[in-house]
Structure 1
Amino acid sequence: MGLLTLFILISFTAPIALSDSNPSAYEVIQEYDFPVGILPKGVTSYDLNRDTGEFSAYINKTCSFSVDSYELEYSSTITGVISKDRINNLKGVKVKVILLWLNIVELVRDGNDLRFSVGIASADFSINNFAECPQCGCGFDCNDFLLSSS
């Protein structure tokens, strides 16, 4: 009788375990209350330690684009520590301010705003600006980019 019970348990739990696939990097950041648009399109994989919040996200190559008056650059590896509404110790994301490239070191969600910090200064942006993922090379203006490059 014990062997039959074990067999029944295995047959009922196996399909559940097999159907449980890993969420995408974009789904994971949403679990921590961030919009998908904080990452560009093209994240190929990620590592996450759910106990410590340490993460790494991987893109095939360095990715840069402009959003409004800002130039952003993502390294091929982005690392940091994520918790609900906060990413700190961020590495691999830069913003160009005047002539200087500054590392974005922290990202905090405060209600409907996202605060990007470069350490000595920060800027707040509406979360609505990050509903979609920007694309390497053209950001959110990809239709204009494709028309001008053809």
Structure 2
Amino acid sequence: MASFNQSLLITLITLSVTVTVTVTATADIHDMLTEYGLPIGILPNAVESYTLSPTDGAFTVHLTRPCYVKFDDQTVYYSKDIQGKLTYGSVSDVTGIQAKQLFLWLSVTGMDLDTDSGMLEFHVGVLSKKLPADMFSEVPECKSKACEHDSYTQSI
């Protein structure tokens, strides 16, 4: 009987550690971003569902379709599945987001908010680019093409 109780206790502890919260679009991830000190506009409006691990902040976002968003002169591509790790004021280990620099598409690997300067720093490999956080104060619309004037759009 003691070994059964120990096995049950170990199973319950394992389940509580590995639990991941799966949420449909009715519980908006954009609201969750503000709870982590990040602007809502870093993700487009086409979020279908997401998962978030309460233990380590690992997340997966599922969009209804891959898409493009234009932020001033910056074009960003979002794949249908985006993954990363969320901590307060920061997103790391990002996959599924690319930014167009000149003629190249570069993977965004992380984002950090500097509340003192009001800037959001995007990490693209060893490079980074700072943009005003207020550029991301609204949820952007997901577009199927990068831009009508771009000669190159990534196939989706």
Normalised by the size of structure 2, how large is the TM-score?
Answer: 0.72
Give the unaligned 5+ runs of structure 1. Answer: 1-20, 140-150
Per-residue deviation, residues 6-57 of structure 1 (Å, max 9, x unmatched): xxxxxxxxxxxxxxx9732111111100011001012111000011100001
Query: d(CA) in 2 for partners of 1:75 and 1:119?
Result: 18
Given that 1:66 and 1:138 are in contact with CA atoms closer than 8 Å, whether structure 2 keeps it comes out as: no
SS of 1:33's equivalent? coil
**Equivalence for 1:45:** 49
**Equivalence for 2:140:** 134
Structure with the bigger percentage of helix? 1
Aligned residues: 119
Structure 2 residue identity aligned to 1:133: V
Match of 1:75 among 68, 79, 89: 79
Q: Report the CA distance between 1:138 and its aligned residue.
A: 8.3
Q: Report the CA distance between 1:65 and its aligned residue.
A: 2.7
Instruction: Give RMSD over aligned pairs.
Output: 1.9
Q: Max radius of gyration: which structure?
A: 1
Query: d(CA) in 2 for partners of 1:68 and 1:126?
Result: 11
Structure 1 residue identity aligned to 2:29: A
The 5 Å alignment of 1:53-132 reads 53-111=57-115, 112-132=118-138
Query: d(CA) in 2 for partners of 1:23 and 1:50?
Result: 15
SS of 1:30's equivalent? helix
**Aligned in 2, Cα 1:57/1:100: closer, same or farther, shift over 3 Å?**
same
**Equivalence for 1:34:** 38
Q: Report the CA distance between 1:114 and its aligned residue.
A: 0.6
Query: d(CA) in 2 for partners of 1:83 and 1:65?
Result: 24
Structure 2 residue identity aligned to 1:61: R
Query: d(CA) in 1 for partners of 2:67 and 2:144?
Result: 10
Per-residue deviation, residues 115-144 of structure 1 (Å, max 9, x unmatched): 0010221111111111101111289xxxxx
Query: d(CA) in 1 for partners of 2:91 and 2:79?
Result: 16
Q: Report the CA distance between 1:69 and its aligned residue.
A: 1.5
Query: d(CA) in 2 for partners of 1:128 and 1:138?
Result: 24
Give the unaligned 5+ runs of structure 2. Answer: 1-23, 146-156
Normalised by the size of structure 1, how large is the TM-score?
Answer: 0.74
